[in-house]
């Protein structure tokens, strides 16, 4: 199990069982993990999404801190789901995605839903969709889901950004 996946799992279990936030120890911080990046933590049970929260721009001092924060949020703050229960912990599968910085693109031709995630923006509204998701096979579908998540009406003009992820499972 990759260290970030183990970190997400340990963080959620400690928080749900004991209400404690996992401390980040200096020895956990390899040079790669000392960097700053956006991180998404997704929880699934039997292949079905149970929570997914993340940041596309870093808000914490390191990837490890970002993972701890977003793991707790995925388990307790995803508005689509109730908080994770103790009896669910053994069944949860974890995914941690570390994002590259978003880059603006000129048009849809610069996207590939398998390789790139997308951020759509219109005014103050922004929606994000991670890359390489089951059932998301076209650029148009990827953009439409991101727009729907942001509450941007279909056909509205949007600015597009793309990013890549390192996915750990």
In this structure, the answer to whether residues 13 and 66 fall within a common structural domain is yes
Residue 129's domain is classified under what CATH number?
A: 3.30.1490.150
C-alpha span between 72 and 161 (Å, rounded):
27
Domain boundary among 43, 78, 99: 99
C-alpha span between 44 and 129 (Å, rounded):
17
DSSP-derived secondary structure for 17-59: HH--PPPPPGGG--TTTTS---EEEEEEETTEEEEEEE-SS--
Residue 47's domain is classified under what CATH number?
A: 3.30.700.20
In this structure, the answer to whether residues 86 and 144 fall within a common structural domain is no
Dihedrals phi, psi of 90, to nearest 5 degrees: -70, -20
Q: What pLDDT, on a 0 to 100 scale, did the predictor assign at position 27?
A: 78
C-alpha span between 95 and 40 (Å, rounded):
8
In this structure, the answer to whether residues 74 and 125 fall within a common structural domain is no
Range of the domain at 118: 103-168
106-161 confidence digits (pLDDT tens): 999 999 999 999 999 999 999 999 999 999 999 999 999 999 999 999 999 999 99
C-alpha span between 72 and 13 (Å, rounded):
9
In this structure, the answer to whether residues 84 and 140 fall within a common structural domain is no
Mean pLDDT, the chain, whole residue set: 96
85-94 confidence digits (pLDDT tens): 999 999 999 9
Domain count of the fold of the chain: 2
In this structure, the answer to whether residues 164 and 87 fall within a common structural domain is no
Q: What pLDDT, on a 0 to 100 scale, did the predictor assign at position 71?
A: 98
23-48 confidence digits (pLDDT tens): 988 877 889 999 999 999 999 999 99
In this structure, the answer to whether residues 137 and 88 fall within a common structural domain is no
In this structure, the answer to whether residues 70 and 116 fall within a common structural domain is no
In this structure, the answer to whether residues 57 and 117 fall within a common structural domain is no
Dihedrals phi, psi of 53, to nearest 5 degrees: -140, 145
Polymer length in residues for the chain: 169
In this structure, the answer to whether residues 51 and 131 fall within a common structural domain is no
In this structure, the answer to whether residues 124 and 157 fall within a common structural domain is yes
**Tokens at 99, concatenated:** 């994002």
In this structure, the answer to whether residues 35 and 68 fall within a common structural domain is yes
Tell me whether strands 92-99 and 39-45 are parallel, antiparallel or unpaired. Answer: antiparallel
In this structure, the answer to whether residues 115 and 81 fall within a common structural domain is no
**Tokens at 88, concatenated:** 């669910």
Beta carbons of 9 and 94 less than 8 angstroms apart: yes
Dihedrals phi, psi of 106, to nearest 5 degrees: -80, -40
The structure's pTM equals: 0.92
């Amino acid at each position: 199990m990759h260290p970030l996946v183990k970190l997400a799992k340990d963080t959620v279990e400690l928080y749900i069982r004991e209400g404690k936030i996992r401390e980040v120890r200096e020895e956990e911080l390899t040079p790669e993990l000392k960097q700053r990046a956006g991180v998404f933590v997704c929880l699934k049970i039997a292949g079905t999404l149970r929570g997914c929260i993340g940041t596309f721009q870093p808000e914490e001092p390191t990837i490890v801190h970002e993972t701890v924060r977003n793991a707790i949020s995925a388990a307790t703050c995803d508005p689509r789901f109730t908080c994770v229960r103790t009896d669910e912990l053994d069944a949860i599968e974890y995914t941690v995605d570390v994002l590259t910085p978003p880059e603006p693109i000129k048009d849809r031709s610069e996207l590939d839903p398998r390789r790139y995630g997308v951020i759509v923006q219109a005014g103050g509204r922004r929606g994000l969709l991670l890359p390489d998701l089951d059932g998301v096979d076209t650029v148009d579908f990827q953009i439409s889901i991101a727009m729907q998540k942001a509450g941007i009406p279909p056909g509205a003009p949007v600015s597009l950004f793309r990013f890549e992820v390192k996915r750990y499972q």
